[in-house]
Amino acid sequence: MTGDDRARYRAVEEQVFAHHRAGRYVEGAELARAAVPGLAGWRADLAHAAACLLALAGRPAEALAELTAALDAGAWWDRRLLVADDDLAGLRTLDGFDRLVEVSHRRASAATGRPVPPVVRRPAGTPVGVLVALHGAGEEAADAARCWAAAVDAGWLLVAVTSTQRSTPTYRSWPDQRTGVRDIAAALDSVDVSGLPLVAAGFSAGGRQAVHWALTGPAVAFLVVGPALRPGQFGADVTGPAVRRGLTGRVLLGDADDEVRDDALTSVVELRAAGLDCALDRVPGLGHAFPTDFADRLPALLARYASRQADRRAG
């Protein structure tokens, strides 16, 4: 699957979601179905979307048939997508649903948890630090490496980590923070980062994981974009030690980011109340995305962490 394929899938996904929001369930389902021949790698995702819409349209048997056909073609879904999605509630009493869940669960268990080598980008000279970049939901390390690439030109060693947690063959995210910490540790074990300051970076769900890892691990700072933070997620047992060792953070958040803005703002307030030095950069007009000038912003942001570490060593 290429980047162009992923871009085409994202475009279809957005159109399908637009139909969902507008209550045009049948039209959305047909759009998802029609995209399958050209996006075979996303068969599981498209079938799930179509099934949800068909179920909402009052066609549960047709929705189950959509999922079953995809399963027979090799697709699978994390069990929670099938048994906890309210859109699919009408399927759960139908003959064949239990088999769908059972077979899918076996496949998901076999495919999930396999470590993936990190994407590593090295600067031309001696690195001034290590930027550990975590991708957003539905992405991979290559996506994070591209978004944070300006760090390499600024002298940083970039280590982009892929989550081992998958809810479909193509959808990776960071739902369990402890598993995410293990994924990051495994990635860093394959790279020599001794003596270099570590900065945790991430976008969306990867931003949430980056903050968690920074609070509980060896990072000197976190730098996240549009983080999908959850209010109340970090208690005093986590923030207290992080504050005492001098962890700092910075959150870049779009004013038009309706996906995570309110929860992220509340979480920043909570982190500050706990005593953490957490800066907030609000970007006017930006939605759930990186700022268009992010490559220009990043070197200056990272320079603060490298210089701070140098000052500590000198002291």
Length of the chain as a residue count: 315
Q: Is the pTM of this model over 0.85?
A: yes
Q: Specify the pLDDT at position 314.
A: 42
Adjacent-strand bridge partners of 64: none
Q: Over the stretch 63-79, which tens digit does the pLDDT of each residue have?
A: 999 999 999 999 999 99
Helices (H), the chain: 3-22, 25-35, 43-56, 60-72, 79-83, 97-111, 141-147, 150-153, 177-189, 205-216, 236-244, 261-273, 294-314
Q: How far apart are CA 279 and CA 249, in angstroms?
A: 6
Q: Specify the pLDDT at position 310.
A: 46
Q: Are strands 165-166 and 172-173 parallel, antiparallel or unpaired?
A: antiparallel
Contact in structure between 55 and 26 (CB atoms under 8 Å): no
Q: Specify the pLDDT at position 113.
A: 81
**Phi and psi, residue 130, nearest 5°:** -120, 125
Structural domains present in the chain: 3-111 (1.25.40), 119-314 (3.40.50.1820)
Q: Specify the pLDDT at position 152.
A: 98
Q: Specify the pLDDT at position 3.
A: 63
Q: How far apart are CA 139 and CA 283, in angstroms?
A: 23
Q: How far apart are CA 55 and CA 3, in angstroms?
A: 31
Provide CB contacts within 8 A for 288, sequence distance 6+: 204, 226, 254, 257, 258, 259, 260
How many helices (DSSP H) and strands (DSSP E) are in the chain? 13, 9
Q: How far apart are CA 60 and CA 67, in angstroms?
A: 11
**Phi and psi, residue 134, nearest 5°:** -115, 130
Per-residue pLDDT of the chain (315 residues; tens, 9 = 90+): 556 788 899 899 999 999 999 999 999 999 999 999 999 999 999 999 999 999 999 999 999 999 999 999 999 999 999 999 999 999 999 999 999 999 999 999 998 888 899 999 999 999 999 999 999 999 999 999 999 999 999 999 999 999 999 999 999 999 999 999 999 999 999 999 888 999 999 999 999 999 999 999 899 999 999 999 999 999 999 999 999 999 999 999 999 999 999 999 999 999 999 999 999 999 999 999 999 999 999 999 999 887 544 444 444
Burial class (CB in 10 A: 0-12, 13-18, 19+), 291: middle
Q: Specify the pLDDT at position 1.
A: 55
Residue type, 136: G
Contact in structure between 122 and 157 (CB atoms under 8 Å): yes
Q: How far apart are CA 224 and CA 68, in angstroms?
A: 39
Provide CB contacts within 8 A for 160, sequence distance 6+: 118, 119, 120, 121, 133, 134, 135, 141, 142, 144, 145, 148
Provide CB contacts within 8 A for 120, sequence distance 6+: 157, 158, 159, 160, 191
**Phi and psi, residue 226, nearest 5°:** 50, 50
Contact in structure between 66 and 40 (CB atoms under 8 Å): no
Q: Over the stretch 19-60, which tens digit does the pLDDT of each residue have?
A: 999 999 999 999 999 999 999 999 999 999 999 999 999 999
Q: Specify the pLDDT at position 301.
A: 93
Q: How far apart are CA 140 and CA 119, in angstroms?
A: 10
Q: Which of 201, 144, 200, 131 is nearest to 172 (CA)?
A: 144
Q: Specify the pLDDT at position 305.
A: 87
Q: Specify the pLDDT at position 234.
A: 94
- Output the CA angle 160-75-72, nearest 5 degrees: 165
